[in-house]
Structure 1
Amino acid sequence: MAQVGDPYVWAAAGPDAFDCSGLVQYAYAAAGIDLPHSSRMQSTMGTPVSRSALQPGDLLFFYSPVSHVGIYIGNGQMVHASTAGVPVRTAAIDSMGSYTGARRIA
């Protein structure tokens, strides 16, 4: 959440700018967990989680093939780096459209 407001930059992984998978990689690295800088690769890690069982910290994936990832923060909300010109922000899961699933890494 400390990165909310930081700019979106394609292929960036912090500490001052992020793309979607770079934000996830940076957040998990702070917890000592190494993840690749690719939403598609991140979508194959950990264990699948149903939408009804989401917990804060679960990764949310969008589109087919997967090309976007966010971090669930509770109450149907996520934090993510969505697109150029839009800073890291919180948003409803359904605001992205094309939700394809979730994974629990830790």
Structure 2
Amino acid sequence: MKNRLIKTLAGITLSFSIVFSGVALASPQSASAATVSKSDVAEKVIATGKQYLGVRYKFGAPAGRTDMFDCSSFTQYVFKKNGIKLPRSSRQQAKVGTYVPKSQLQPGDLVFSDTNRDGVINHVSIYMGNDKLIHTYRVGIGVTISKFKGSTWDKTYVTARRVI
């Protein structure tokens, strides 16, 4: 009788351990499905930027304002809305994240230019993919989408950084 009870309890214990190990194996799949990919974040950053198309340009626009931007306050704001903290100036932003060669740009990468051609980074834009940038750079234009290849931004390109 005692032997039979031990075998029954062992069988029940083994059955429960098999059932619960199956649940544990299924959990990582549901957790990975909830993980947000880098491309999803890039899409959200670009979509956030597009919400501000046409917002006026003002050099030195204060951080956090959405009625005016300069290039780096725009990138700082758009990335912050998507959980990524950037420094305030384009020169400071060019030092964060990881270096990306121009030939390997992906949507969401920051593109830095020296439009004054004085050896100092003075402009930042967001690469959208398909040879396009979203940025702001001049009074009367405001936040806009520009072609990259062959543009001023391409001709004065200094570096790119991946912060996503």
Task: Say yes or no: TM over 0.5.
Answer: yes
Q: 1:81 pairs with 111, 126, 136, which one?
A: 136
Matched, 1:4 2:56: no
- Aligned-pair Cα RMSD in Å: 1.1
Which runs of structure 1 show a deviation greater than 3 angstroms over 4 or more consecutive aligned residues? none
| Cα distance in 2 for residues equivalent to 1:6 and 1:15 | 8
Aligned twin of 1:99: 157
Instruction: Give 1:49-64 correspondences, 5 Å limit.
Output: 49-63=100-114, 64=119
**Which consecutive residues of structure 2, in runs of 5 or more, have no partner in the other structure?**
1-49
Give the structure with the larger helix fraction.
Answer: 2
Shift, 1:15, TM fit: 1.2
Partner deviation per Cα, 1:47-84 (whole Å, 9 max, x = no partner): 00011111111000001310000000011110011122
What are structure 1's unaligned runs of at least 5 residues?
none
Rounded to whole Å, the distance in 1 between the matches of 2:51 and 2:128 is 13
Report what 1:67 is aligned to: 122
- State the number of aligned residues: 106
Give, as a single letter, the amino acid of the residue that structure 1 aligns with 2:98.
T
Residues in 1 aligned to 2:158 and 2:131: alpha-carbon distance in whole angstroms: 15
Q: Which structure carries more strand by proportion?
A: 1
Listed as ranges, the matches of 1:24-63 within 5 Å are 24-63=75-114
Larger radius of gyration: 2
Percent identity between matched residues is 42
Q: Which AA in structure 2 matches 1:48?
A: Y
